[in-house]
Chain A
Amino acid sequence: MNKNDIKLVVIVLIVIILLFSLTLFRKKANIANVYYENELILEIDLSINKTYEVDGYNGKVKIEVLNNQIRVVEENSPYHLCSKQGFVSKSGESIICLPNKIIIELPSDELDAEVS
């Protein structure tokens, strides 16, 4: 490793910090959209604590809403990535379960703000 390598690492670290700070300043989402094969199948209000069940490609996908947060509790997939991901709550975040072709998206309301 030489001096330029260290410079490179420092620049990358700064970029990482900037990208992380983007995450911090996001607002909490109010709703979540559930898509199956890119088709909107369910709209969830995050202010109500409730459990939902939707049909995924490999069977039922169980979704839980708790204290304005949303997570996948149970699903059938090889690695269980989306249930391991845990709770998400900020707009712009999403839970993607590719084997089940289910995407849960927390929409950012920036567009709505522009319209009104």
Chain B
Amino acid sequence: MKKFTRLSMLLALSVALNVIEASLPLFNGYIPGLKLGLANIVTLFIIYQFSLKDAFYVGILRVFLVGILRTGLFSTTFFFSLSGVIFSIICMYLAKNFLKLSIVGVSIVGSIAHSTGQVLTSILLLQMSSMIYYLPWLLLFSIPTGVLVGIICKQLIKFYDEVLSFE
């Protein structure tokens, strides 16, 4: 398979994961903004298997597609997602290359960066400095979700390598 085809399939997968997780609100929506971050599996996978550039392409296109499908283009949610994705990709890339972390650790970094990026955007964009008090809640949950995403991604890479070896 060509790289372009692979990346398109991964993009479709990340949009699908995003829609699926939107239908599974954690804690019945009592903590708004809290989600599993399943789409981050794809971003993490691309950082490991492809390049930083490809991760940016797929991540940003995903935000646009989800914006068109679900949340609305250029809405508040859209900018939250966009800043979260960009910030988490940069941090995951740096963590992967400069810190001696396993894929699970890199995933936690991504999850934390996503929450932090969103909270920072809400502080800068909406001038809501009180959002800083909301950050510890998001950070607390980003550890278990980060671990989950990291473990799934690790298995995915293993599986991907096995399948590729048959080609």
Task: Determine whether the beta carbon of B133 is less than 8 Å from that of A8.
Answer: no
Task: Determine whether the beta carbon of A16 is less than 8 Å from that of B139.
Answer: yes
Contacting A2 at CB < 8 Å: which of B105, B108, B109, B135? Answer: B105
B32 at the interface (CB under 8 A from A): yes
Task: Determine whether the beta carbon of A92 is less than 8 Å from that of B135.
Answer: no
Query: In chain B, residues 100-141, which have Cβ atoms closer than 8 Å to a Cβ of chain A?
Result: 100-102, 104-105, 108-109, 112, 128-130, 132-133, 135-136, 139-140
Task: Determine whether the beta carbon of A4 is less than 8 Å from that of B101.
Answer: yes
Taking Cβ atoms with an 8 Å cutoff, the residues of A that contact B are: 1-2, 4-5, 8-9, 12-13, 15-16, 19-20, 22-23, 79, 81, 84, 92-94, 96, 98, 103, 105
Q: 3 closest A-B pairs (Cβ-Cβ)?
A: A5-B105, A19-B136, A94-B130
Taking Cβ atoms with an 8 Å cutoff, the residues of B that contact A are: 29-30, 32, 76, 99-102, 104-105, 108-109, 112, 128-130, 132-133, 135-136, 139-140, 143, 147
Could you name 23 residue pairs across A and B whose Cβ atoms are closer than 8 Å? Answer: A1-B105, A1-B147, A2-B100, A2-B102, A2-B105, A4-B105, A8-B99, A8-B105, A12-B139, A15-B139, A16-B136, A19-B133, A19-B139, A22-B132, A23-B133, A23-B136, A79-B29, A81-B32, A84-B30, A92-B129, A92-B133, A93-B133, A94-B130
